[in-house]
Amino acid sequence: MFEFRRQGSVGLAVAVVGLVATAAALFCKPATIHRATPQPAALVSVSPRALAPPGSAPSRIVAQVASAAPAADPGLTIKRILPISGPIRYGEWHWDDANVPAGPTVITVDLDARVLSVFRGGYEIGATAVLLGTTEKPTPLGVFPITQKDADHKSNIYDGAPMPYMLRMTNDGVTIHGTNVQNGYASHGCVGVPTPFARKLFGVASLGDRVYVTRGKHSAIGDALT
């Protein structure tokens, strides 16, 4: 799950390398960023939305969830990937929901690619580079329903740090929220997105919508989102 092959291309294997700088995320206390140990090449599949070299922009791997069986609900089948060429740079985001029909909203996050995608009825309508947690405070893997929305949220863990357009994923404080997405910044487990993107996501997300977080698996148009 969580990675598309664009235009029929086949993924190549590469080593995954983490962020290299230490800086303070605007929504958290200062976080130390560690270089991840490179993994054996055979363990990670990469498509044209591939992980960028260390220190460069995050890759354009779109997060999806694959399923062995076709989705019973055609609204949860992948029907479109936004036509984005090349990697998404930190702070960059894309949104196009024009003429997309109503349908269930699914949010996907790929920890290897550092990319979040938004789907409505199987159509990708948004994608952005994200900030993620550190080794000490990692962003968790799993499936998380949105349990709270707060457009003007302040952290009750990190000294009232602003977390605009917050979508809560876990009871222990992991959320999606707006922040300054820059290379060298990190979170304490949250998924940080550019604030203008967070505003749009907040507008389409509903309580109960699911967020799927995995690492570098892939699926294709026609596969199921759930």
| Token pair of 112 as six digits | 């290897």
The pTM of this model reads: 0.68
Name the DSSP letter for residue 146: -
First to last CA, the chain: 10
Q: Given this model, what pLDDT does residue 11 score?
A: 32
SS3 64: coil
Per-residue pLDDT of the chain (226 residues; tens, 9 = 90+): 444 333 333 332 323 333 333 333 434 433 322 222 223 322 222 223 333 444 444 544 333 333 334 434 666 889 999 999 889 999 999 999 999 999 999 999 999 999 999 999 999 999 999 999 998 899 999 999 999 999 988 776 666 678 899 999 999 889 999 999 988 778 878 999 999 999 999 999 999 999 999 888 677 888 887 6
∠ CA 73-215-137, rounded to 5°: 120
Q: Given this model, what pLDDT does residue 225 score?
A: 76
CATH architecture for segment(s) 6-214 = Beta Barrel (2.40)
Q: Are 182 and 114 contacting, i.e. CB atoms less than 8 angstroms apart?
A: no
Q: Given this model, what pLDDT does residue 28 score?
A: 40
Q: Given this model, what pLDDT does residue 158 score?
A: 63
- Of 122, 136, 143, residue with least CA distance to 223: 122
Q: Given this model, what pLDDT does residue 21 score?
A: 35
Q: Given this model, what pLDDT does residue 120 score?
A: 96
Q: Are 114 and 59 contacting, i.e. CB atoms less than 8 angstroms apart?
A: yes
Cα 114 from Cα 184, distance rounded (Å): 13
